């Protein structure tokens, strides 16, 4: 029998199959193998009298390491414009990893009732991402929420972002019957309380929507990103590839670099270019 992992909880896997959701274990050897099963994986399972066991992970279309998920059509980064404020270094790290993994990204800016979303909206729209400005008190007919629903249609979508950004709140607005737990952020620490503990997908007639635990930091070097491939992680740089004076241009200080020129001219958002430079220098030679 085949199915799809929709939830991973303390070593057990909830697998959606044609005959409903079954809870499975893995054999020790599969867990120790290089790829351990994650949310979104298609798997084959076998049933014995005592147990249901994941036998095999079917080939993945894509994979993102944090939160671990496979076969995703869209990664929706949930970023609050206030409490906590956006951290573009974290966000750009995530967009680079998604781009290198060939997972499309959209951005939901939440808490637009607390601060103006425009600065962030401008950066990420210009970088080529769909950006939605949301606020939990808006009516459900708000243009951006309607547009976001359309974007989610017929897809497997994972919501990801810092703890307290409002992922579960947004999910509850899209699927009101869900009742995902949410919590006030800690004002003392200025961040969320890691309310959501596991990645879980929820099915509605036409989409699979996933909530995930908040993360705080992520490291490109640790994820094995190489200096030479970093530029490919910035989607808005690609039109300039092959146009710099030097073929092996690093886009840092070389003369005749079209990427840097585009950033200085405002064709590439300067904030994104600056993060590129920062990330490049932080990666090992």
Per CB under 5 A, residues contacting Mg ion are 167-168, 195-196
Q: Helices 167-174 and 143-152 sit at what angle, rounded to 10 degrees?
A: 80
CB of 276 to Zn ion, least distance (A): 11
Residue 57's beta-bridge partner residues?
A: 43
- Please tell me the distance from the alpha carbon of residue 247 to that of residue 34, in angstroms, as a whole number: 36
| Shorter beta-carbon distance to Mg ion: residue 212 or 275 | 212
Determine if 75 is a binding residue for Zn ion (CB under 5 A): no
The SS3 of residue 134 is: coil
Residue 201 · residue 40 · CB < 8 Å: yes
User: 194 is in the binding site of which of ligand GTP, Zn ion, Mg ion, none (Cβ under 5 to 8 A by kind)?
Assistant: ligand GTP
Determine if 263 is a binding residue for Zn ion (CB under 5 A): no
Determine if 244 is a binding residue for Zn ion (CB under 5 A): yes
CB of 48 to Zn ion, least distance (A): 58
Helix, strand, coil % (nearest 5) of the chain? 25, 25, 50
CB of 271 to Zn ion, least distance (A): 18
Residue 20's beta-bridge partner residues?
A: 17
Residue 78's beta-bridge partner residues?
A: 108
Distances from the Cα of 128 to the Cα of 62, 123, 234, 268, angstroms: 21, 9, 10, 10
How far is C-alpha 254 from the chain's CA centre? Answer: 33
Q: For the window 149-188, what string marks contact with ligand GTP as x by the rule CB under 6 A?
A: --------------xxxxxxx------------xxxx---
CB of 158 to ligand GTP, least distance (A): 13
User: 184 is in the binding site of which of Mg ion, ligand GTP, Zn ion, none (Cβ under 5 to 8 A by kind)?
Assistant: ligand GTP
Binding residues vs ligand GTP (CB under 6 A)? 110-111, 113-114, 135-136, 163-169, 182-185, 192-196, 213-214
Q: Which residue ranges make up the site for Zn ion (CB under 5 A)?
A: 244, 249, 251, 257, 259
């Amino acid at each position: 029998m085949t199915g799809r992992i929709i939830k991973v909880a303390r070593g057990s896997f909830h697998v959606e199959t044609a005959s409903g959701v079954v809870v499975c274990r893995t054999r020790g050897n599969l867990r120790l193998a290089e790829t351990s099963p994650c949310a979104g994986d298609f798997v084959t399972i076998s049933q014995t009298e005592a147990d249901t066991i994941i036998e095999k992970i079917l080939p993945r279309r894509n994979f993102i390491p944090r939160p671990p998920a496979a076969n995703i059509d869209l990664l929706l980064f949930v970023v609050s414009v206030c409490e906590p404020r956006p951290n573009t270094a974290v966000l750009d790290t995530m967009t680079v990893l998604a781009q290198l993994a060939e997972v499309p990204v959209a951005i939901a800016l939440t808490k637009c009732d607390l601060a103006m979303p425009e600065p962030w909206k401008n950066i990420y729209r210009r970088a080529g991402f769909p950006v939605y400005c949301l606020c939990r008190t808006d009516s459900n007919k708000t243009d951006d929420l309607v547009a976001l629903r359309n974007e989610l249609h017929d897809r497997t979508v994972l919501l990801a972002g810092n703890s307290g950004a409002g992922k579960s709140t947004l999910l509850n607005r899209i699927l009101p019957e869900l009742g995902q737990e949410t919590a006030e952020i800690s004002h003392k620490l200025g961040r969320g309380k890691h309310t959501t503990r596991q990645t879980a997908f929820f099915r509605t007639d036409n989409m699979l929507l996933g909530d995930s635990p908040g993360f705080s930091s992520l490291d490109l070097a640790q994820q094995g990103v190489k200096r030479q491939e970093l530029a490919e992680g910035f989607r808005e740089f690609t039109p300039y590839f092959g146009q710099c004076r030097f073929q092996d241009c690093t886009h840092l200080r070389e003369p005749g670099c079209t990427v840097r020129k585009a950033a200085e001219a405002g064709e590439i958002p300067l904030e994104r270019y600056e993060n590129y430079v920062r990330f490049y220098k932080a990666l090992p030679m």
